[in-house]
Structure 1
Amino acid sequence: MRMNEVEFDDSRPVDGYGPGFFRVGGEVLKGSVLLLPSGPGLWQGYEDAAPILAAAAEIDVLLVGTGKEIAHPPRAFRGALDAAGIGMEVMASPAACRTYNVLLAEGRRVGAAMLVVE
């Protein structure tokens, strides 16, 4: 089997996660995270849609990590993303981390909003 090293250009992949934190590009972020082309940052949850909406022209899909288990985001959050033309894929945060890295490695225009795994 031939193994290839993945290159992420200037983007920062998710290196790991645990109870209450994510490690993104070697930096530990305590709390929920928002990963956009402008860089990683903390996310205040579903009520904090403004930075996502501001990045609508830079992303084609937003991966929404709902924590340890998959859950439905609130209707208002879904409606705001839909109105902005942002596609959304909902999954548990561990799956969102893996999917984000794969799409990032493919050079896709992806963002992620992930709640911490407790």
Structure 2
Amino acid sequence: MRLNEIVFNDAKPVEGYGPGFFRIGGQVIEGAVITAPSGTRTWGGLDDVAALEALVPETDVIFIGTGAEIAHLPAGLREQLEQMGAGIETMASPAAARTYNILLSEGRRVALAMLPV
């Protein structure tokens, strides 16, 4: 089997997570987080709609991790983002991180917003 090193261009991969934190591109962030080609930063959670809206122009899909378990997004939030043309995928944060890393390694335009586990 041949193994190739994955090159992540501008965006940083999720390297790990634990109770209340994420490690992204070597940086540990406590609490909810957003990471995208424009950078990694803390996130105010599902009420921080403006931060999610800012991701729409730079991405094709926004993965939203809802913590340890999958949960539905508030209907109004999903509707608002979809009206802006955002592709939204909701899943538990561990699954969202894995999916984000895979698509990021393929060079896709993706962003990730996660609530801690």
State the SS of the aligned residue for 1:52. helix
Residue 13 of structure 1, CA deviation: 0.5
Q: CA–CA distance in 2 between the matches of 1:108 and 1:24?
A: 17
TM-score normalised by L of structure 1? 0.95
Residue 74 of structure 1, CA deviation: 0.8
Question: What is the letter of the counterpart of residue 25 of structure 1?
Answer: G
- What is the percentage of aligned positions where both structures have the same residue? 56
Check whether the contact 2:43–2:51 (CA below 8 A) recurs between aligned residues.
Answer: no
For 2:85, the equivalent position in structure 1 comes to 85
Q: CA–CA distance in 1 between the matches of 2:93 and 2:77?
A: 17
**Which stretch of structure 1 is more off in the superposition, 8-17 or 24-33?**
8-17
Any stretches of 5+ residues in structure 1 without a counterpart?
A: none
Once superposed, which parts of structure 1, at least 4 consecutive aligned residues long, lie more than 2 Å away?
A: none
Q: 1:31-85: CA deviations, max 9, x gaps? A: 0111122101111111101122123111110001010011101112111111111
Give the alignment's Cα RMSD to 1 decimal: 0.9
Any stretches of 5+ residues in structure 2 without a counterpart?
A: none
Residue 9 of structure 1, CA deviation: 1.4
Question: What is the letter of the counterpart of residue 76 of structure 2?
Answer: A
Check whether the contact 2:15–2:25 (CA below 8 A) recurs between aligned residues.
Answer: yes
Alignment of 1:1-118 (within 5 A): 1-117=1-117
Q: CA–CA distance in 2 between the matches of 1:10 and 1:112?
A: 14
Q: How many residue pairs get matched?
A: 117
Q: 1:70-112: CA deviations, max 9, x gaps? A: 1101112111111111010111000011111111111101011
Q: CA–CA distance in 2 between the matches of 1:45 and 1:76?
A: 15
TM-score normalised by L of structure 2? 0.96
